[in-house]
Structure formats: C-alpha cells, structure tokens
Amino acid sequence: MDLARFPRRRYTEGFTPLEHLPHLTRHMDGPHIFIKRDDLLGLAGGGNKTRKLEFLVADALRQGADTLITVGAVQSNHCRLTLAAAVKEGMKCRLVLEQRVPNSYNPEASGNNFLYRLLGVEKVRVVDLGTDLNAAMQAEADEVAALGRKAYIIPGGGSNALGALGYAACAQEILMQAFERGLPFDHLVCASGSGGTHAGILVGLRALGSRIPVTGISVRRSTPDQVELVGKLASEIRAFLGISGEWDPAEVVVFDDYVGPGYSLPTPEMAEAVRLFARKEGILLDPVYTGKAAAGLLDLIAKGYFKKGEKVLFLHTGGSPALYAYQDAVLRL
C-alpha cells in the first residue's frame, strides 16, 4: 500500500499516542483496554477529520482553490477542523450546517458553534434535514466563483476515497506502534458515522496483511444501512488504491444498539461512558461520536463479546469541544 504517491499536507507532528487504560481495565474486569489518541491530532481541537483533511486540502491546493466548502451537523467537528485547515492554509471557508434535529441550530451556542465564530468562518448556511446537501454546497461554490474565487467542495466527514486514505495511513501507524510495543491486538473498536474512518482503517489493515477485526459502533444509521455505506466506501477506497482481489462484505461489522433516539441525541449510556472515561482515565470523549462508541465498547465488554485477557484498541476520534454544548446531558443523565 503505497500512500506516498498521493499529495498530503501534515497537520500533526509524529504519531498520536497509543495508551493502555489500566483503571478502566480493572473497573470492567474484562479485556485489556487500549486507546489510540486521535483526539490529539493537529488543528483546532483535534479529531479524526484532521487525517482526512491532510489529503483533501492537499488536493484543493493542487487545484488552485482558495475557499473550502463543506457540510455537517450543527455541532460538526468536521466543520470545525475544515475551517481550521482553511485558516492554516490562508484560505476562506464556508459551512453548510444541517439541522438533523429540528430547530437545533443556535448561532450563539457554545461548543463548535462558538469555535466557528472564533476561527472566522466566512459564511454559515443552515438547512433542514432532507435538503440536497450537494446542491447546497454547489450553490455556495457558485457564489464563490461569482466573486472571482475558486472553491473546493469537501463531502460530509471528509468521507470519500481520497479523504479515507487518512485512516489507511492510520492503520499503518497503529501496526507500527503495536509492533514496537509487542501488542498483538485482538480487536479494534471505532465510531461509525459518515464511514470514512471505519472503511479507511479496515481497508488499510487488510492491505497491510493484518486480520484485526474492526467493530464499528453506529452513531446514526441502522446496522444494514451502515454496513452498506461502509462496504461501498471500502470498495471505492480499494479501487482508488488499485487493490485487487475479492472483498468480503462480512468484514464490515456494525452495532446500532447505541444510537438511542437519534443522531446527536443524548443517551444515559453515552453520559455514563463519558463520565467513566473522564473519572477513571482523565480522557474527554464527545457526546455524539466517541461517547456513544464508548458506550458500545463498555456494553460489549459487559456482555462478554470481548473476552477477558484480550487486547482491545478503542479509536478515539476526538470531538471533545462539543462537550461544552451538552453539559446538562453529560452530567445529569
């Protein structure tokens, strides 16, 4: 898997830490729990989208773009990091925010909404669930073109074949760290949302000869829908990389038991997982992605899905700035 042939910007110095969680491991009395700290990636506040943006922004610059346009939910970590990358590169940025929960956008809200303003977003356009998001982004790109500038559109979550290369690269990084420390992981667990992280790391591991099972915890869709999404993107990544051979759809494992009432809507299990990681290990999760993914991890441990003595790696995809918009839910549920 030769990723050096793809242009890439670097927003993080070196590898992100891979840590053992001894207190949480003892508390759960099950497998040894490890965490890959992609919350410590570069740009404003870190998170998994930084890895994807390294490839996407490099492509934008190659095409001569001066403005980035992307889409996300009203507290989107991806939007925050796309905006931060634009600032880093001296570009402008416009955001299309989708109200996946009716009337959920508050321009004065804390969390990522505050950071959009602080980082100097050029324009925020708020649309309702069901809006044609590609058309909304294209309308912004047309407006940018009318100003004599050039826009580059980044899909939601940075989750296309190019952006997902960031997590093929992460798979390589994890295997190098595991080798150096003598850690043969039995499982990897990650949040599964727009699909780029889940598909990218799965393709990357298999391309490098690793058979570590990847378990995705859905934060939005039903298992069949999420499996279809991740499987389709995995096939696109393989084709993009020129990987031949058969792809087994059974490789895509997703649990949808932890979504709760809907995307971004708090659950007691999410709140408990966020508190547990904070109070046992001093690690901040987020309420939308890693909180629900951690709730899934802990429940699957309790049910014996991950066995005592196994080594389980939890991929922390960041997002903690959103915590500040969910204080009541996290502390009181």
User: 119, 134, 157: which is the final residue of a domain?
Assistant: 157
Is residue 6 a part of any domain in this protein?
no
Same-domain status, 138 and 23: no
In total, how many domains does the chain have? 2
Residue 290, in any domain of the structure: yes
Distances (CA, A) of 117 to 76, 95, 109, 127, 165: 13, 11, 10, 18, 29
Has residue 3 been placed in a domain? no
Q: Are residues 256 and 227 in the same domain?
A: yes
Dist. CA 238–CA 154, nearest whole Å: 20
Neighbours of 7 (CB within 10 A): 14
Q: What pLDDT sits at residue 207?
A: 95
φ, ψ of residue 235 in degrees (nearest 5) = -65, -40
Q: Which of 123, 157, 191 is the last residue of a domain?
A: 157
61 and 181 in a single domain? The answer is no
Whether residue 111 sits in one domain with residue 184: no
Domain contains 10: no
| Residue 188 within a domain | yes
- For the chain (length 333 residues), average pLDDT per consecutive 10? 92 97 98 98 96 98 98 95 98 96 88 95 96 97 98 96 97 98 97 96 96 97 97 95 86 97 95 97 97 98 97 97 91 84
CA distance 107 to 116: 9
- Considering the domain architecture, whether residues 200 and 283 belong to the same structural domain is answered as yes
Per-residue pLDDT of 72-108, as tens digits, reads 999 999 999 999 999 999 999 999 999 988 888 998 8
| Domain carrying residue 108 | 49-157
Q: Is 12 a domain residue?
A: no
Q: 86 near 69, Cβ under 8 Å?
A: no
The conformational region for residue 67 under phi > 0 = left, psi -120 to 50 = alpha, else beta, is beta
Residues 171 and 308 in one domain: yes
Examine the domain organization and report whether 58 and 206 are in the same domain.
no
Same domain, 174 and 301: yes
Q: Is the domain of 41 the same as that of 91?
A: no
For residue 321, tell me if it sits in a domain.
Answer: yes
Domain end residue (candidates: 93, 128, 157): 157
Query: What tens digit of pLDDT does each residue of 210-250 get?
Result: 999 999 999 999 999 999 999 999 999 999 999 987 778 89
Same-domain check for residues 167 and 114 = no
State the pLDDT at residue 279: 97
What pLDDT, on a 0 to 100 scale, did the predictor assign at position 138? 97
Compute the distance between CA of residue 214 and CA of residue 205 in angstroms, rounded to an integer: 9
CATH code (residue 40) = 3.40.50.1100
Question: Cα dist. 200→158, 233, 267 in Å?
Answer: 11, 8, 28
115 inside domain: yes
Active site residue 192: no
Please say whether the beta carbons of 71 and 156 come within 8 A: yes
User: Are residue 269 and residue 208 in the same domain, yes or no?
Assistant: yes
pTM: 0.95
> In this structure, are 187 and 305 located in the same domain?
yes
**How far apart are alpha carbons 207 and 76 in whole angstroms?**
30
